[in-house]
Amino acid sequence: MKKISQELDTELLLYLDGQLKDTAREKIVLALQQDEALRQRLTQLEAMESSVKNNFLEIPSKNFTHLVMQKLDQYPAQPSSFNMLNGIWLLIGVLLMSAIATVLVSSGVFDQATGTLDLNTVKLPSLNLKRTLPSIPIDGKLIINITILLNLGLCWLVFDRAILKPLFRRRLQIGR
């Protein structure tokens, strides 16, 4: 079938919409009489318009209004961009890091990572302190253990948001 130019396509749509001026309309009518491909394209466009116009309006469920009125006090939460795939990757990453940290802690890598932070050795030029500052003990193993614990908390949160909630929401939708 002959390819219809974009300009002719545009003219055909305007013709269908009844928006062509007299001379332009006469021109397209003449072209339609002479060109089979153009007539076929017009038929396609007419079929599309008729199909769209007759099948366009969607009817919501019967209890739509009731549901809106019921939820009127619950302001909808903003949908977050946090999706299942990203959540699973984040979960895998956090679990992997926690596992590595646990292995390192249990093999004693951080056993010697202890020390004290003596604040008196820190140079603070603008302050004129008379009292001696305390020393802060640092336990590397404890810090890593706390980090692992926080990561496990994060894992649970990600698992809940990325997997459990969407899963239950989908089940609810299927059950409706």
Nearest approach, Cβ of residue 120 and other proteins (Å): 54
Out of 5, 23, 34, 61, the residue judged to bind other proteins by CB under 8 A:
61
Cα–Cα separations (whole angstroms), residue 20 to 46, 82, 149: 16, 49, 72
C-alpha to C-alpha distance for 165 and 54, rounded to whole angstroms: 38
In one letter, which amino acid is 88? I
C-alpha to C-alpha distance for 35 and 12, rounded to whole angstroms: 13
**Neighbouring-strand partners of residue 118:** 135
In the complex with other proteins, which residue's Cβ is closer, 1 or 122? 1
Out of 22, 33, 76, 129, the residue judged to bind other proteins by CB under 8 A:
76
Site string for other proteins, 120-149 (x = CB under 8 A): ------------------------------
18 is a site residue for other proteins (CB under 8 A): no
In the three-class reduction of DSSP (H, G, I as helix; E, B as strand; rest coil), residue 117 is classed as strand
β-pairing, 135-139 vs 114-118, is antiparallel
C-alpha to C-alpha distance for 121 and 80, rounded to whole angstroms: 47
Out of 23, 52, 112, 125, the residue judged to bind other proteins by CB under 8 A:
52
83 is a site residue for other proteins (CB under 8 A): yes
Out of 29, 37, 47, 117, the residue judged to bind other proteins by CB under 8 A:
47
Judged by CB under 8 A, the chain residues 90 through 119 that form the site for other proteins are none
C-alpha to C-alpha distance for 154 and 63, rounded to whole angstroms: 39
Residues that bind other proteins (CB under 8 A): 9-10, 13, 44-45, 47-48, 51-61, 64-65, 67-69, 71-72, 74-76, 78-81, 83-85, 166, 173, 176
